């Protein structure tokens, strides 16, 4: 439980880290995040003596193909998220992770052809209403929130297909290996154009950017440790820690404005999440009762 809370709290406080990295832009932050994450992963793999596991993942075409696709999806997610935070739109980035569970349910219907239960249908329907309300309040489609929700939802779907064939360190290592050449090119281009802040903003800024590898990897490792030990229902409830904290940081620290129409839109989103949570808890309770009944019959 502590590992899970730690992962989502760190993700929830991530906007503060991006804020102190300014004037670095989204592309520079993500490029550094990829490059230094790869070095940190190489260190972890060396310490844990897991190079054979990494080599096996690289040789397996299905695993490598899935992780390469996941890498590009998470790159889109990271770029959009960092852009949102560094341009004063952290409230909308939190919205993306609030509606992510609804997108995951929708992807289950569209991609996996799953049948939804009544409360799930209600939650998805209310979610569509919320997007409509928020589109009206923003005066445009909340594209940052929708891009974050769909990119992370698809990322989770792709990673789920890989399943337990790779651990968290191996997965992150392969993903950053795929993205590292593009990230390195971005860093060189920024340096050549004089737009890079890595070496121009003092030693503190330099080391903060280098620490992005640790800041990226640690919550992922925490999440992996919790996901192996906790039921999915608990993980589903813990995931709300991150957007709640992001939302609070945007309001209380960044002082972003929230109009009445936006409060209404967020309220509708939270109603949809309440319906989804009630369905999840009800299903978990029914499954628990069914398991106990099966054990009694077996005895």
- Alpha-carbon distance of 183 to 176, in angstroms, equals 9
Q: What is the pLDDT of residue 232?
A: 65
Helices (H), the chain: 2-12, 14-21, 26-48, 51-59, 61-86, 90-110, 118-138, 143-162, 168-193, 203-210, 212-227, 232-238, 241-248, 260-298
> How far does CA 247 lie from the centroid of its chain?
15
pLDDT mean over 173-180: 93
Q: What is the pTM of this model?
A: 0.88
Residue 26 main-chain phi, psi, to 5 deg:
-60, -45
Q: In this model, does residue 187 exceed pLDDT 90?
A: yes
pLDDT mean over 100-118: 81
């Amino acid at each position: 439980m502590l590992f899970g809370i730690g992962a989502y709290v760190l993700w929830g406080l991530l906007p503060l880290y991006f804020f102190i990295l300014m004037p670095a832009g989204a592309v520079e932050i993500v490029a550094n995040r990829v490059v230094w994450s790869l070095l940190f992963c190489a260190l972890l793999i060396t310490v844990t003596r897991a190079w054979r596991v990494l080599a096996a993942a690289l040789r397996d075409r299905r695993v490598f193909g899935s992780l390469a696709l996941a890498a590009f999806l998470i790159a889109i997610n990271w770029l959009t998220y960092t852009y949102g935070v560094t341009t004063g739109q952290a409230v909308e980035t939190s919205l993306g992770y609030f509606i992510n569970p609804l997108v995951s349910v929708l992807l289950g219907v569209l991609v996996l052809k799953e049948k939804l239960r009544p409360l799930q249908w209600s939650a998805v329907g209310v979610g569509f209403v919320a997007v409509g309300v928020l589109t009206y309040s923003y005066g445009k489609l909340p594209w940052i929130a929708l891009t974050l929700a769909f990119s992370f939802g698809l990322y989770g779907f792709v990673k789920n297909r890989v399943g337990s064939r790779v651990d968290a360190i191996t997965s992150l290592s392969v993903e950053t290996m795929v993205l590292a050449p593009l990230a390195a090119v971005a860093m060189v281009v920024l340096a050549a154009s004089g737009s890079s802040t890595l070496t121009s903003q003092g030693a503190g800024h330099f080391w903060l950017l280098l620490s992005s590898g640790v800041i990226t990897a640690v919550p992922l490792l925490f999440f992996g440790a919790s996901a192996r030990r906790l039921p999915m229902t608990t993980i589903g409830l813990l995931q709300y820690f991150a957007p709640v904290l992001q939302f609070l940081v945007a309001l209380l620290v960044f002082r972003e404005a929230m109009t009445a129409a936006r409060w209404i839109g967020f309220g509708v989103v939270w109603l949809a999440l309440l319906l989804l949570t009630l369905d999840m808890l009800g299903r978990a309770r029914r499954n628990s009762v069914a398991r106990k009944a099966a054990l009694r019959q077996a005895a």
